[in-house]
Structure 1
């Protein structure tokens, strides 16, 4: 098994050391670096391939939400998982919109982190248990509103519902598979679900398909 080259980004050295110790015996993870701020991470990514980033939201130079976009612009295939104490629903959803594959609170168990890493490798969005409860609550204006989809998102949703892969959808719509994956992630975020199966179910329930 190829190990996931992993970088931990947090402005607290004790958190980094704790995560290193926690993950030291994981068979599929190799900690290759750690950074205390966003700029150091971006500099590291220029010269080193990274499969997985465990990222805090609160950093001294760039907030984690914005950093997600910068990471994806530089290294689109790198998986980002947020490890944070922030519990604001808007922050959680914005990080996913900006390219993160999951969001966990720092009090999460190792089993939850393992699960989220496994789900992210499959291309799914994953949250720790407490985060699921937070984003499942109705928004302040009442029940969850129907998501607003672009024309392209509607096209891709329909093709996903037909069981087509990102590769096939890309060929049909003359898009790269990575672009299709980005639209798929946005759809998953807009419907507030965890994977394509739940996405199709939610779209059917809301009579969008």
Structure 2
């Protein structure tokens, strides 16, 4: 149970999700929504001068990875409790958010009652999860034991540019490399991450906090 008024912010790049959360929480007399944001940069600017007890944070944002943003929020406002609210159900992602300062993790299909419960538990200083997330944590899959990928400095550079959607030729021009060299690095990245395409590469690299 919330014993005092809680200030809450929402960070999600889908307006329909923000609107839904606002409608759910606006009638709770001990929760005050102080802001809604569609990117991480605007929220960081806001929290530097505003008190936010709890932030509901999406993982996939247009300008910054949710794990990196979690760290930035804790630097700017250590007392703010961060609840990840995401469709990502990978155990590795859940644990990385907690490692980087989150107070909990919920999937977006969570019930209203669970959402309120998790907000209450986070405000009271507890680590909290929705029921579905608890099940994921207690039943790790084979992918959770994947060895961390080690990258060279050049591979990290090329990975970052690939994630920005740049073509092989553009990357070659920017790094003063031959097109063949860049293609070789891209092939090695796919092999190291054991994926078949760039979409999977970016997904796994993000989960491993390499982007």
State the TM bucket, normalised to the shorter chain: 0.5 to 0.7
| d(CA) in 2 for partners of 1:142, 1:40 | 33
The ranges of structure 1 where at least 4 consecutive aligned residues each deviate by more than 4 angstroms after the TM superposition are: none
Contact map agreement 2:92 2:144 (CA 8 A) in 1? no
Which range moves more in the overlay, 84-93 or 111-120?
111-120
SS for the counterpart of 2:34 is strand
Question: For residues 95-134 of structure 1, what are the alpha-carbon distances to aligned partners after superposition, in whole Å with 9 as ceiling and x for unaligned?
Answer: 0111110100001001101111111122111111111111
Task: Sort the Cα spacing of 1:91 and 1:142 in 2 relative to 1 into closer, same or farther, 3 A.
Answer: closer
| d(CA) in 2 for partners of 1:139, 1:122 | 31
SS for the counterpart of 1:57 is coil
**Residue of structure 2 equivalent to 1:179:** none
Q: 1:81 aligns with which of 75, 80, 83?
A: 83
Contact map agreement 2:110 2:130 (CA 8 A) in 1? yes
- Following superposition, the deviation at residue 140 of structure 1 comes to 2.5
Task: Sort the Cα spacing of 1:25 and 1:80 in 2 relative to 1 into closer, same or farther, 3 A.
Answer: same
Alignment of 1:110-129 (within 5 A): 110-129=112-131
| d(CA) in 2 for partners of 1:142, 1:67 | 23
- Following superposition, the deviation at residue 141 of structure 1 comes to 8.2
Q: 2:16 aligns with which of 8, 14, 17?
A: 14
Task: Sort the Cα spacing of 1:142 and 1:21 in 2 relative to 1 into closer, same or farther, 3 A.
Answer: closer
Task: Sort the Cα spacing of 1:11 and 1:138 in 2 relative to 1 into closer, same or farther, 3 A.
Answer: closer
**Residue of structure 2 equivalent to 1:132:** 134
- Following superposition, the deviation at residue 16 of structure 1 comes to 0.4
Greater gyration radius: 2
SS for the counterpart of 1:58 is coil
Gaps of 5+ in 1: 144-209
Task: Sort the Cα spacing of 1:134 and 1:40 in 2 relative to 1 into closer, same or farther, 3 A.
Answer: same
Task: Sort the Cα spacing of 1:118 and 1:139 in 2 relative to 1 into closer, same or farther, 3 A.
Answer: same
- Following superposition, the deviation at residue 138 of structure 1 comes to 3.5
- Following superposition, the deviation at residue 142 of structure 1 comes to 9.4
| d(CA) in 2 for partners of 1:40, 1:68 | 14
| d(CA) in 2 for partners of 1:74, 1:22 | 28
Q: 2:27 aligns with which of 17, 25, 28?
A: 25
Instruction: Give the TM-score of the pair, scaled to structure 2.
Output: 0.65
SS for the counterpart of 1:8 is strand
Between the two proteins, the alignment pairs up a number of residues equal to 143
